[in-house]
Amino acid sequence: HAGHAQGTRGIPVRGRQVLRESNPSADRPPPTRAKREPRPARLPFPPVLPPPRAPPTLMPLTERTDSPRLITQVDIQLTNSYPFEAPKMRFITKVWHPNVSSANGAICLDILKDQWSPALSIKTAMLSLQALLSTPEPNDPQDAVVARQYLDSHEE
């Protein structure tokens, strides 16, 4: 119908956009086919094979030397206007952060508000959210109590 743009495969334009963004192979260039030299019918000598590689060593999470990982759940809502309107994102997991509301999980992030552009994607929003979690902005808080605690603890 008139208010719902359809693609050639029956998937709404917004749905195709989300599928394209969520496809991990979309970031890779399409494969190219190189012209192969014809192989001789029989090799003149046995091929040289690389030595077998040892399997990777897996360490329990507690023994890893890299920074600890925080696993959270984020609710992402897309309106019919996406990608022309920012996705609505909020934390479901309780997060103690100056730029996240401890009451409802609302996120204070400029690209989710007035700095959104249709050129951005859900992936961009998630990377920006990841950056925000590692570099809080306590002077532009979503949660003033957490921001005050953050500032007080860093002044000591």
* Residue 44 pLDDT > 80: no
| pLDDT confidence of residue 47 | 53
28 within some domain:
no
62 within some domain:
no
| pLDDT confidence of residue 71 | 77
| pLDDT confidence of residue 3 | 47
2 within some domain:
no
Bigger pLDDT: 151 vs 56? 151
- Tell me the residue range of the domain where 104 lies: 74-154
* Residue 61 pLDDT > 90: no
120 within some domain:
yes
* Residue 100 pLDDT > 50: yes
**Distances in whole angstroms, Cα of residue 25 to Cα of each of 56, 98, 119, 120, 141:** 25, 35, 19, 18, 36
Residue 76 phi/psi, 5-degree rounding, is: -120, 120
**Which range scores top for mean pLDDT: 9-18, 53-62, 88-97?**
88-97
Task: Over range 118-129, report the average pLDDT.
Answer: 93
pTM: 0.59
The overall average pLDDT reported for the chain is 76
Tell me how many domains the chain contains.
1
Q: Which residues are catalytic, by number?
A: 108
78 within some domain:
yes
| pLDDT confidence of residue 2 | 47
5 within some domain:
no
Task: Over range 11-23, report the average pLDDT.
Answer: 70
Peptide bond before 44: cis, by omega within 30 degrees of 0? no
Q: What is the CATH number of the domain that holds 100?
A: 3.10.110.10
Contacts 24+ apart (CB under 8 A), 104-113: 105/75, 106/142, 107/132, 107/142, 108/137, 108/140, 108/141, 108/142, 111/86, 112/86, 112/87, 112/88, 113/86
108 within some domain:
yes
22 within some domain:
no
